[in-house]
A and B are shown apart, each in its own frame.
Chain A
Amino acid sequence: MVAAAVLEKPETRGAALAVRGVNHHFDLDGAALPVLDGIDLDVKAGEFVALLGPSGCGKSTLLRLVAGLEPPAEGGLLADGEPIVGPSPSRIVVFQDPTLYPWRTVWNNVALGLQARGLLKTQGSRVDDALQRVGLKAFGQAYPHQLSGGMAQRAALARALVNDPRILILDEPLGKLDSLTRIAMQSELVELWQRSGFTALLVTHDVEEALFMASRIVVLSERPARIKAEIVNELPYPRHRGDPRLAELRHRALALLGLDATW
């Protein structure tokens, strides 16, 4: 009984996220450059929220605060009611670059989180599971330089998923992929999210991507980022790219970004 209980994969359940009055700025040669301006945001457990905004508006900074890699200058962030004070394996970031360690094989890259927490010896099979989930089972012994861009990003995704994060933070993870790989991986990510039940927070500047994947899109202004509007996308999954309702939402989103002149 006990053994069976231990072997069972821990239930992954998304965590709720609350951002309360967050202001943040960078120090640039002594001058303060404001990047976030009064951000208030609530994400329900298991929700898929996209942050959409122009390049360099501060979206990625907000993600770093959620990940706990930096403390906010003002305001606070809560995960399931607990203040976020530092990084935690329950909130994992997938960056725009795969940032795989070139000296490790894919398997050992994915094993990173378990190794860092001393769980690798007892729970090594979770690495195989994670590789399986992203379709890289056969590439465990490959080195990162042998992977294509899409495969490397999948490996980075497996490296995040192996930790069973409750919030998966996606910082333009598909931004550098070619458009075909990108379309394929959008669907894969949505499927993973549906199966695993984590809360997903996606930063992107691709309107179509945000609408296709997320159930709610938060539109941010130019730097310093303020929340300009929210678009709720109630279309059921799996979604279809050609859906006229998506096109309609897209028109709305572009209008909010002031880019609908060519519609």
Chain B
Amino acid sequence: MSSAEVLSAAAAGGDAGTRSWRLWKTGAAAAALWAAVGGVTLAWPNVEVGFSSWGYTREFGAAALAFAALLLLVAVSGAGRLRPVRALHRAGPWLLALAVAVGAWEIATAKLALLPSPFFAPPQSLIEVYASDYRRLADSLANSLWLLANGFLLGAAAGFLTGVAIGWSRGLGYWVHPVLRFLGPVPSTALLPMAFFFFPSSWSAAVFLIALATWFPVTVLTWSGVAGVNRAYYDVARTMGASEWFLVLRVAIPAALPQVFVGLFMGLGASFSVLVAAEMMGVKSGLGWYLSWAQGWASYANMYGALIVMALVFSGLITLLFLGRDRLLAWQKGVVKW
């Protein structure tokens, strides 16, 4: 029975395919533009800029042509029903725009040298960076993530506990609130020099500052979340015989979680900037350190390469946070968009 089903399904799919075959026009146009990027890269010789010729020009041109061929294949296949292809369709206008941008970048740097050469590297130089220096980059990335994880998790946990405590207890709030208002708004980066001096190692100082930067928004938002819980929620639980602990753990905290996540989001953003600043100023590893190291050697292509890695990873971390929220807070989606 299964083979028959498969057969009929295949037939139905085929039918639908032939009936609704349509050229994906945006895809075809993007393919043409990417082919043009590849053609220009390969056929137009790089301008000589004194020191040495740009490496990986041929590889970059070939990659652009290969991408164009792939796009063309998807465009004429009419496979618009497959999920990855549908996603690609949505990205169509972006693929067009990117082809124009990358083409212009290639021409302005490698082909015409309109932009001063050590500061503005052509796209193929990024390939060179990733091919030749991936080990150091991966190492820096791992160090950054480890430092960030330590600082952020510590700060988030401390912020959550502080927020719940001062949201629940007036007495604690009396003492912690002024400290929060005094210390919180100070950018953690301003404390960098002091922290490097007080802590046994620059790494532990960085962990502390990242934690501090995360702590502030998480505390404030957890606190306001707990303080803003509908009083009737407590009345309901109290009439049913709930203990004080029940009110905190089962009413106040779940009701405050949406706010806590906004705090975590803001804390994550703050932790990125402290991380990079700390790595640039004292910690001898990580992506921030890589940036200033590359700049010191005037290898700007490496700097761009590291910046792109940074953008992708940080954006990925925020996406992860939001995925976690959507799972945990399925009952209320889309309060903050990412």
Say if A and B assemble together: yes
Residues of A within 8 A of B (CB): 67-69, 87-89, 91-93, 95, 97, 99, 101-104, 112-113, 115-117, 143-145, 159, 163
Residues of B within 8 A of A104 (CB): 254
Answer yes or no: B119 CB below 8 A from chain A CBs.
Answer: no
A99 close to B232 (CB less than 8 A) = yes
- The listed residue with most B CB atoms (<10 A of its CB), out of A88, A103, A145, A159, is A103
Contact yes or no, A88 B251, CB < 8 A? no
Q: Which of B238, B241, B254 contacts A101 (CB 8 A)?
A: B254
Which residue of B has the minimal Cβ distance to A114?
B240
The answer on a CB contact under 8 Å between B232 and A88 is: no
Residue from B232, B236, B257, B332 having most chain A Cβ neighbours under 10 A:
B236
Give CA–CA (A117, B241) in the complex, Å.
Answer: 6
Interface string of B117-159 (1 = CB under 8 A from A): 0000000000000000000000000000000000000000000
Whether B237 lies near A92 (C-beta < 8 A) is: no
A89–B238 alpha-carbon span in the complex (Å): 9
Contact partner of B254 (CB less than 8 A), chosen from A67, A92, A103, A115, is: A103
Complex interface: chain B residues within 8 A of A69 (CB):
235, 238-239
Give Cα distance in the complex from A87 to B235, angstroms: 9
A101 touches B233 (CB 8 A): yes
Instruction: Indicate with 1 or 0, residue by residue over B217-247, a CB within 8 angstroms of chain A CB atoms.
Output: 0000000000000101101111111110010
B240 engages A102 (CB within 8 Å) = no
Check if B240 sits within 8 Å of A89, measured CB to CB: yes
> Could you give, for residues 32-71 of chain B, a 1 whenever the CB lies within 8 Å of some chain A CB and a 0 otherwise?
0000000000000000000000000000000000000000
Of B239, B242, B251, B255, which contacts A93 at CB under 8 A?
B239
Contact status B242-A103, CB under 8 Å: no
Find out whether the CB atom of B241 lies under 8 angstroms from the CB atom of A116. yes
Contact B239 A112 (CB under 8 A): no
- Cβ B237 vs Cβ A116 within 8 A: yes
A87's partner among B232, B238, B329 (CB-CB below 8 A) is: B238
Whether the pair A87, B241 counts as a contact (CB closer than 8 A) is yes
Q: Are B331 and A88 in contact (CB under 8 A)?
A: no
Among residues of A, the one whose C-beta sits closest to the C-beta of B332 is: A102
Q: Which residues of A contact B251 (CB under 8 A)?
A: 101
Look across to chain B and name the residue whose beta carbon is closest to the beta carbon of A67.
B239
Assembly CA distance A112 to B237 (angstroms): 7
Closest chain A residue to B238, Cβ basis: A87
Would you call B240 and A97 a contact (CB within 8 A)?
no
Q: Is the CB of B255 within 8 A of A116?
A: no
| Closest A-B pairs by Cβ, 9 of them | A113-B240, A116-B242, A89-B241, A87-B239, A99-B232, A103-B254, A87-B238, A117-B241, A143-B331
Q: Tell me whether B331 and A112 are in contact (CB under 8 A).
A: no
CB closest residue in chain A, given B330: A143
Q: Is B22 an interface residue (CB 8 A)?
A: no
Nearest CB to that of A105 among chain B residues? B331
Q: A69-B239, A95-B235 are in contact. List 14 more A-B contacts (CB 8 A).
A: A89-B239, A92-B240, A93-B236, A99-B230, A101-B233, A101-B254, A102-B331, A103-B329, A112-B236, A116-B241, A116-B250, A117-B241, A145-B331, A159-B236
Return A26 CB to nearest CB of chain B, in Å: 15
A112-B242 Cα distance, complex, nearest whole Å: 9
Q: Which of B239, B240, B246 has the most CB of A within 10 A?
A: B239
A163-B329 in contact given A103-B254, A103-B257 (Cβ < 8 Å): no
Which residue in B232, B239, B330 is a CB contact (below 8 Å) of A91?
A: B239
Q: Which residues from chain B contact A116 at a C-beta distance below 8 Å?
A: 237, 240-243, 246, 250
User: In the assembled complex, which residues on chain B have CB atoms less than 8 Å from the CB atom of A97?
Assistant: 232
A103 B232 Cβ-Cβ under 8 A: no
Return the CB mask of B296-338 against A: 1 if under 8 Å, else 0. 0000000000000000000000000000000001111000000
Contacting residues, chain A, for B257 (C-beta < 8 A):
103
**Which B residues, 248 to 274, have Cβ-Cβ distances below 8 Å to chain A?**
250-251, 254-255, 257
Asked whether A112 and B240 contact (CB < 8 A) given A101-B251, A101-B254, A145-B331, the answer is: yes
Complex-state Cα separation, A91 to B239, whole angstroms: 7
- Known contacts A87-B241, A88-B241, A112-B240; decide if A93 and B235 are in contact (CB<8 Å): yes
Q: In the complex, what residues of A have CB within 8 A of residue B233's CB?
A: 99, 101
Distance in Å from the Cβ of A24 to the closest Cβ of chain B?
17
B234 to chain A minimum Cβ distance, whole angstroms, is: 9
Complex CA–CA separation, A112 to B257 (angstroms):
19
Residues of B within 8 A of A159 (CB): 236
Q: Which residues of B contact A95 (CB under 8 A)?
A: 232, 235-236
Question: Can you give 25 A-B contacts (C-beta < 8 A)?
Answer: A87-B239, A88-B239, A89-B240, A89-B241, A91-B239, A93-B236, A95-B232, A99-B230, A99-B233, A101-B251, A102-B331, A103-B257, A103-B331, A112-B236, A112-B240, A113-B240, A113-B241, A115-B246, A116-B240, A116-B243, A116-B246, A116-B250, A117-B241, A143-B331, A159-B236
Q: Which residues of A contact B232 (CB under 8 A)?
A: 95, 97, 99
**A219–B237 CA distance with the chains assembled, in angstroms:** 30
Residues in chain B near residue A92, CB distance under 8 A: 239-240
A93 to B240, CA, bound (A): 9
Contact partners of A68 in chain B: CB under 8 A = 239
Contacts of A101 in B (CB 8 A): 233, 251, 254-255
